[in-house]
């Protein structure tokens, strides 16, 4: 307003001067012209002064506005930098217009200069997780600019400054001005840890945690994808690992778990990468062989059996029963094929059970005697003595036969003991003694598992019982102890005296007989002791 006033005054003075000049042709107006010139100069100076003042005021106002704008910008940046999520903006060409500290940190850049003005697609979103290029027309972030709609994605990766990638979840929202899209704001987070956890949960939901094989849930959900025409013929093998229950009962579930892991490893190593090995539960396994004729399936089954025989974990776990079946037509029910394989497997298991039981007992005895040569001779001696006592007592031949066999196998449970405990000459610690005293129970479980040795089991279980009830494992006394067990107890003790043990020197027969008489009525059945001593004298 002040500038407009001075301008108007100058214009008036100039108008007056012009009028005076016109009149100067008629009148002598020189004095007036001089005065008016002075006034004009003064007005010009005044106008310049006012203009300068106004420019200073406008400059000050502009600076104040800039300061306020910068302060607001810094406040906005502080807000952005306080966010845990990464945030950046892009213009219509995809160039970065701003970013926060979380964005720089996650992407691995030091400052904003590395991002501002750069095309963010080619910088951080150029490739898929497998490294294949992601075309710009398929970029969902940039689709926000063209479609004007927000997007949410959690199955892609973004790329860091060092060239590595990470699983990202991002949102991209358009920016509008006057009804038109002018850019987009993108927020993202690193969800690598979450993806790993999800993958682990998914893996565990489809795998058996002990053997790392597929589980029943996987079979139920995925079998329909396997049971398709292009996979015909589909062969299946049902397997049942032999000896697991006995292993668990005798050696504990830790050894049983070791057996299952080894069994799984054998089966996985015997099939192709395209085949599926499933643990159905317990000791049952299923192998699905797509595009496999029956002859090839039989060869795979034979390969598995051979590996089991060669890589036994212990004397109880050395075989597996298998049954094979095949699906040749899409019309056949795959579950019926699996049922047929299961039936064949069970038939094989029954057929081989008696043969295997006999072989198992012989294998256990051989293992024990290899670890302890003393027990090998001791078993033969006790067996002979038991037969002689049985005949002296006029027992039926059937009982004498059981007594003889039980006498030979009375220490079979010692197979669980290591060589140091079997052959040691030192006193046993309390822990070692407790472990040693488990061998009658183990022997009972072994003999009970086989039909042909079932009748021997009870005598072997109780031969360490004492007449006065101070023995083990059940603390039986007197005639509660089975008769055959009482006979084995006398024969076992006598032979350890006259033959010696790793921790005891042998003594003469008369001294041994005297020791037996000393313990008659406390440790041993006094009647059997007298019969035995009489037999010795004869």
pLDDT confidence of residue 3: 53
Q: Are residues 105 and 221 both part of a single domain?
A: no
Same structural domain for residues 474 and 507?
yes
Residues 392 and 291 in one domain: no
Region 102-109 average pLDDT: 95
User: Do 161 and 309 fall into the same domain?
Assistant: no
CATH label of the domain that carries residue 237: 3.30.70.270
Domain-ending residue, one of 163, 196, 229: 196
- Looking at residue 81, its pLDDT comes to 74
Helix (H, G, I), strand (E, B) or coil at 530: helix
Q: What integer is the mean pLDDT of 15-30?
A: 51
Query: What pLDDT, on a 0 to 100 scale, did the predictor assign at position 87?
Result: 95
Q: What is the pLDDT of residues 395-405, one digit of tens each?
A: 999 999 999 99
Average pLDDT over residues 439-451: 90
Looking at the chain, the whole-number percentage of residues with pLDDT higher than 90 is: 65
Task: From 152, 169, 196, give the residue that closes a domain.
Answer: 196
In a domain, 148, yes or no: yes
Residues 533 and 422 in one domain: yes
| Nearest to 102, CA basis, from 195, 191, 194, 188 | 188
Can you tell me the mean pLDDT for 382-395? 96
Residues 384 and 506 in one domain: yes
Whole-number pLDDT of residue 27: 44
pLDDT confidence of residue 71: 60
Assign 428 a pLDDT band (cuts: 50, 70, 90). confident
Tell whether 173 and 129 lie within a shared domain: yes
Domain with residue 178: its CATH number is 3.30.450.20
Return the pLDDT at 278: 97
How many Cα atoms occupy the beta-carbon half-sphere of 502 within 13 Å?
16
pLDDT of residue 207: 96
Any domain includes 521: yes
Q: Are residues 326 and 398 in the same domain?
A: no
Residue 490 has pLDDT above 80, yes or no: yes
Residues 113 and 252 grouped into a single domain: no
**Alpha-carbon gap, residue 211 to 274, rounded angstroms:** 18
- Top-ranked range on mean pLDDT: pick from 17-26, 61-70, 507-516: 507-516
Average of per-residue pLDDT values in the chain: 87
pLDDT at residue 435 tops 60: yes
Contact between 175 and 92 (Cβ < 8 Å)? no
Given a contact cutoff of 8 angstroms between Cβ atoms, the answer to whether 259 and 247 are in contact is yes
**Whole-number Cα distances in Å, 488 to 400, 407, 495, 512:** 12, 6, 11, 16
Residue 10 has pLDDT above 60, yes or no: no
73 is a domain residue: no
pTM score, whole prediction: 0.69
Residues 301-348: pLDDT tens digits? 999 999 988 876 666 666 889 999 999 999 999 999 999 999 999 998
Domain of 45, in residue numbers: 2-65
Question: What total of structural domains would you count in the chain?
Answer: 4
**What is the per-residue pLDDT across 123-136, written as a single tens digit (0 to 9) for each?**
999 999 999 999 99
Stretch 506-510: mean pLDDT: 92
Domain boundary among 15, 35, 65: 65
Q: Are residues 458 and 524 in the same domain?
A: yes
Q: What pLDDT was estimated at residue 451?
A: 81
| Residue 326 shares a structural domain with residue 356 | yes
Per-residue pLDDT at 267 = 95
Distance CA 189, CA 166 (A): 10
**DSSP output for 409-440:** HTTGGGGGS-HHHHH--SPPPHHHHHHHTTHH
The helix or strand, by DSSP H or E, that contains position 535, with its residue range, turns out to be: helix 526-537
Q: What is the pLDDT of residues 161-176, one digit of tens each?
A: 999 999 999 999 999 9
Domain containing 384 — which CATH number?
1.10.3210.10
Which of 243-247, 396-400, 502-506 has the largest mean confidence? 396-400
Strands 234-241 and 284-289, sheet pairing: antiparallel
Task: State the average pLDDT over residues 392-419.
Answer: 93
Give domain status of residue 71, yes or no.
no
Q: How far is CA 502 from the centre of its chain?
A: 47
60-74, 162-176, 278-292, 510-524, range with the lowest pLDDT: 60-74
Quote the CA–CA distance of 438 and 207 in Å, as a whole number. Answer: 36
Helix, strand, coil % over all residues of the chain, rounded to 5: 60, 15, 25
Which token pair is 80? 């952005």
- Per-residue pLDDT of 27-57, as tens digits, reads 444 555 455 555 555 556 555 666 666 677 6
- Six-digit token string for 316: 């109880």
Residue 74 lies in a domain: no
Q: Are residues 416 and 331 in the same domain?
A: no
Are the CB atoms for 108 and 160 separated by under 8 Å? yes
Q: Is residue 81 part of a domain?
A: no
Alpha helices in 372-480 (DSSP H): 373-392, 397-409, 419-423, 430-436, 439-448, 457-462
């Amino acid at each position: 307003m002040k500038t407009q006033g001075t301008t108007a005054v100058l214009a008036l003075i100039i108008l007056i001067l012009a009028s005076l000049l016109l009149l100067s042709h008629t009148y002598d107006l020189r004095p007036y012209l001089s005065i008016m010139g002075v006034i004009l100069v003064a007005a010009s100076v005044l106008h310049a002064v006012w203009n300068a003042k106004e420019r200073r005021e406008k400059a000050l106002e502009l600076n104040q506005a800039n300061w306020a704008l910068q302060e607001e910008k810094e406040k906005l940046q502080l807000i952005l930098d306080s966010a845990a999520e990464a945030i950046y903006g892009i213009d219509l060409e995809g160039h970065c217009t701003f970013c926060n500290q979380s964005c720089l940190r996650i992407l691995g850049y030091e400052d904003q200069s590395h991002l501002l003005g750069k095309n963010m697609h080619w910088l951080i979103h150029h490739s898929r997780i497998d490294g294949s290029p992601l075309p710009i027309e398929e970029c969902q972030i940039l689709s926000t600019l063209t479609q004007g709609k927000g997007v949410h994605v959690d199955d892609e990766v973004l790329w860091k400054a060092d060239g590595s990638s990470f699983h990202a979840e991002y949102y991209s929202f358009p920016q509008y001005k006057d009804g038109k899209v002018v850019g987009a704001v993108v927020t993202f987070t690193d969800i690598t840890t979450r993806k790993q956890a999800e993958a682990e949960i998914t893996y565990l939901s489809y795998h058996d945690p002990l053997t790392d094989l597929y589980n029943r849930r996987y079979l139920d959900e995925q079998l329909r994808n396997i049971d398709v025409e292009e996979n015909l013929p589909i062969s299946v093998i049902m397997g049942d690992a032999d000896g697991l229950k006995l292993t668990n009962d005798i050696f504990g579930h830790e050894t049983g778990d070791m057996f299952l892991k080894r069994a799984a490893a054998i089966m996985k190593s015997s099939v192709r990468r395209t085949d599926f090995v499933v643990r159905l539960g317990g000791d049952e396994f299923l192998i699905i062989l797509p595009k496999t004729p029956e002859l090839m399936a039989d060869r795979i089954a034979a390969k598995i059996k051979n590996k089991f025989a060669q890589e036994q974990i212990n004397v109880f776990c050395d075989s597996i029963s298998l049954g094979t079946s095949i699906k040749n037509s899409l019309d056949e029910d795959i579950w019926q094929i699996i049922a047929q394989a299961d039936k064949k497997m069970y038939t094989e298991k029954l057929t081989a059970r008696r043969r295997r039981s006999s072989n198992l007992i012989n294998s256990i005895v051989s293992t024990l005697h290899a670890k302890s040569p003393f027990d090998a001779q001791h078993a033969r001696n006790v067996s002979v003595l038991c037969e002689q006592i049985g005949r002296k007592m006029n027992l039926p031949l059937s009982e004498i036969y059981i007594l003889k066999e039980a006498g030979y196998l009375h220490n079979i449970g010692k197979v669980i003991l290591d060589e140091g405990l079997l052959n040691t000459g030192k006193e046993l610690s309390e822990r070692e003694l407790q472990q040693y005293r488990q061998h009658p129970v183990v022997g009972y479980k072994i003999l009970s598992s086989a039909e042909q040795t079932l009748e021997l089991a009870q005598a072997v279980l109780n031969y360490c019982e004492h007449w006065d009830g101070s023995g083990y494992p059940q603390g039986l006394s007197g005639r509660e102890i089975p008769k055959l067990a009482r006979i084995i107890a006398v024969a076992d003790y006598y032979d350890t005296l006259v033959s010696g043990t790793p921790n005891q020197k042998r003594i003469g027969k008369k001294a041994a007989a005297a020791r037996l008489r000393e313990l008659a009525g406390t440790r041993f059945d006094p009647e059997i002791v007298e019969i035995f001593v009489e037999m010795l004298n004869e």
